[in-house]
Amino acid sequence: MNKLKLGVLASGRGSNLQAIIDNIESGSLSAEIAVVISDQAEAFSLERARKHGLPAIHVSAGGYKGKREEYDALLVRELRKFNVEFVVLAGFMRIITRVLVKAYPDRIMNIHPALLPSFPGLHVQKAAIEHGVKFSGCTVHFVDEGMDTGPIIIQAVVPVLDNDTEDALSARILTQEHKIFSRAIQLYAEGRLKVDGRRVLISDGTNNADAFLINP
């Protein structure tokens, strides 16, 4: 069977990208990375991809200030060049527009380091500590035209400790991100996700226990 062709968009260090690569190489994720694209020329994610022999390209956003849709149209052209079927946002630090969403409807996933709909946006681990929540975590969701608003696929929960720093909480959450992102992509690749309005139903023949991953 043909493997799902992923296009990964990543702006930074690429630890989520690395987890996906590792899970593909170990056989626990049945997909292939067709291309890694970054808006940042120096992104470590590009280096990680090249180290594994994957196509890795920089698509500069310079010259696209105030023209986000035009930039996204450029991204869509690049993704199509590599026959990408499914787009993974792995720390892609740009707000994407309807141009990309419409090109890949219900075929874009994002990972967010909080339990959505709490704490959308940036610096959310710090915000969670300052707010005093006792639990935070991470969310994999389909991407729609809003910011961190799309239908939720899987969440993982981690405790927020009294002496937590932003770095400590971020690291605890990141460990879970690396697990649930690949898990969600695998569920999609197996055809087990059904979007029903705001809800994502996971069919596994029994129940949707997959969605209740707590410190898996």
Give the one residue of 90, 108, 184, 187 binding ligand GRF; rule: CB under 6 A. 90
Which of 58, 112, 123, 178 is flagged as catalytic? 112
Cα separation, 202 vs 180, whole angstroms? 14
* Sheet with 56-58, edge to edge strand ranges: 56-58, 31-38, 4-9, 86-89, 108-112, 135-142, 152-159, 199-202, 193-196
Q: Which is nearer to ligand GRF, 13 or 68 (by Cβ)? A: 13
Number of residues located near ligand GRF, criterion CB under 6 A: 13
Regarding 111 and contact with ligand GRF (CB under 6 A), the answer is: yes
Regarding 137 and contact with ligand GRF (CB under 6 A), the answer is: no
Q: Which helix (H) or strand (E) holds 153?
A: strand 152-159
155 closest CA partner among 92, 203, 216:
216
Site for ligand GRF in 12-31 (CB under 6 A): 12-16
Cα separation, 110 vs 121, whole angstroms? 12
Cα dist. 29→6, 151, 201, 210, 212 in Å?
A: 12, 22, 20, 15, 19
Regarding 36 and contact with ligand GRF (CB under 6 A), the answer is: no
| Per-residue interface string for the shown chain with ligand GRF, residues 158-177, x marking contact by CB under 6 A | ----------------x--x
Contacts of 70 (CB under 8 A, 6+ apart): 64
**DSSP one-letter string for 111-143:** EESS-TTSS-SSSHHHHHHHHT-SEEEEEEEE-
Q: Which is nearer to ligand GRF, 91 or 189 (by Cβ)? A: 91
| Per-residue interface string for the shown chain with ligand GRF, residues 172-211, x marking contact by CB under 6 A | --x--x----------------------------------
Q: How far is the CB of 30 from ligand GRF (least distance, A)?
A: 21
Residue 112 annotated among the catalytic residues of the structure: yes
Catalytic positions are: 112
Binding site for ligand GRF (CB under 6 A): 10, 12-16, 90-91, 111-113, 174, 177
